[in-house]
Amino acid sequence: MTRFATALAAAALLLPTAAAAEPFTIDNSHTYVGFTVNHLGMSTISGTFSDVEGTFDLDLEHPENSVVDITIAIASLSTGFEARDTHFLSADFFDVETYPTATFTSTAVTVTGEDTAEVTGDLTLKGETRTVVLDVTLNGLRDDHPMIDGTQAYAGFTATTTLSRSDWGLGLYAPAVADEVEVRIEMEALGPTS
């Protein structure tokens, strides 16, 4: 058994066991979706979406049965330059007035290593749905959150992937501005109390 599966199995002994799948809610204050894209071969532009909500059900005994649902508020985009943000949110790119959210819903989880898994799912962005594979690392899973009351379960994950922005109708200025976008998600989530 890999460490990823072992960690979840160990947590199963500590967390409430009313159901095989334990519900976790994304901690919005400690979660973001970040991205980087090359600009003209000269520099790398970075940005984040800070308003990320969702849930996931961790099947502690069978991680492959876990399910993830994430919603990203497109208006929470920030690249550190207001004029660029306004352009990105316009109809040229994200068209936030028409498509205010992006969603990711998992369809498969495959444990790949000691603390890693591939999470395959459907990413819907600007009205287009495509299959995406996230490379996920389990950073930690505990049942004693020190900032709540010591009985709250919490988990942390890092996920990465590479997307072609043109697949979602966001290809303006490619290839001068790279079509390939590197995505990194840092996530904390709160689970049941013990």
What pLDDT, on a 0 to 100 scale, did the predictor assign at position 3? 53
Phi-psi map region of 73: left, alpha, beta (phi>0 left; psi -120 to 50 alpha): beta
Residues in the chain: 194
- What CATH code is carried by the domain that includes residue 174? 2.40.128.110
Give the HSE-up count for residue 189: Cα atoms under 13 Å, Cβ half-sphere.
27
* Full pLDDT tens readout for the chain, 194 residues: 455 555 555 444 444 444 568 899 999 999 999 999 999 999 999 999 999 999 999 987 899 999 999 999 999 999 999 999 999 999 999 999 999 999 999 999 999 988 899 999 999 999 999 999 999 999 999 888 887 777 789 999 999 999 999 999 999 999 999 999 999 999 999 998 87
Q: What is the pLDDT of residue 7?
A: 53
Distance, in Å, from the CA atom of 142 to the CA atom of 103, rounded to the nearest integer, reads: 27
pLDDT in the model for residue 16: 47
Residue 126: both structure tokens together: 């600007």
Structurally, how many domains does the chain consist of?
1
Token representation of residue 139: 């950073």
pTM exceeds 0.75:
yes
Task: Of 86, 105, 104, give the one whose Cα is nearest residue 96.
Answer: 86
Distance CA 63, CA 188 (A): 17
Of the candidates 111, 26, 24, 135, which has an alpha carbon nearest to the alpha carbon of residue 63? 111
Distance CA 9, CA 3 (A): 9
- Domain of residue 8, residue span: 3-193
Across the strands, what pairs with 128? Answer: 125
Dihedral sign of CA atoms 36, 37, 43, 47 in order: negative
* Per-residue confidence (pLDDT) for residue 18, from 0 to 100: 40
Phi, psi at 98, each rounded to 5° = -90, -35
